């Protein structure tokens, strides 16, 4: 779904220009229908086969990634903090699915994955900065 929202940007970036939507191999309506259908089926499956807590957390991850994090990427670098939330929810969804509750262990799993993503993203960003043809001055001392 994020590729549906970013198709025009993806067409202009070398790294993403060959994605199916950006390259024109898949229509936006097809991708939207598939993405929405997969999300709906996944949430229904979790709700009926696992529990409502896991389904609710999965829906939160989907909505926050697609409709909050993805648009923020064009506005602020702080989007990394926002994006780390849906990125850290999968182990919490698993915890909720297995236990039906959100105990301290689920919070610890969330924290580990959330905080791991920050240096991980910084390392990837630094790698890209180091390979750019134009020198970039870091924003930290």
Domain boundaries, the chain: 2-130
When computed from its CA atoms, the radius of gyration of the chain, rounded to whole angstroms, is 18
Q: Which range has the worst mean pLDDT, 4-8, 40-44, 57-61, 87-91? A: 4-8
pLDDT digit string (tens) for 12-65? 988 889 999 999 999 999 999 999 999 999 999 999 999 999 999 999 999 999
Residues 6+ apart with CB under 8 A from 124: none
**pTM across the whole model:** 0.81
Give the Cα separation of 53 and 128 in Å (integer): 38
Burial (0-12, 13-18, 19+ Cβ within 10 Å), 55: buried
- From the list 114, 123, 118, the residue with the least C-alpha distance to 61 is 114
């Amino acid at each position: 779904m994020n590729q549906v929202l970013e198709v025009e940007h993806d067409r202009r970036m070398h790294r993403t220009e060959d994605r199916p939507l950006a390259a024109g191999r898949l229509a936006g309506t097809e991708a939207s229908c598939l993405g929405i259908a997969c999300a709906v089926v996944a949430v229904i499956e979790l709700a009926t086969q696992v529990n409502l807590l896991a389904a609710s957390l999965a829906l939160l991850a989907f909505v926050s990634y697609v409709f909050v994090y993805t648009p923020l990427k064009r506005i602020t670098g702080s989007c990394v903090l926002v994006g780390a939330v849906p990125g850290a929810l999968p182990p919490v969804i698993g915890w909720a699915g297995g236990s039906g509750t959100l105990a301290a262990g689920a919070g610890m799993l969330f924290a580990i994955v959330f905080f791991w993503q920050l240096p991980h993203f910084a390392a990837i960003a630094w790698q890209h900065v180091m390979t750019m043809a134009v020198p970039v001055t870091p924003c930290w001392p």
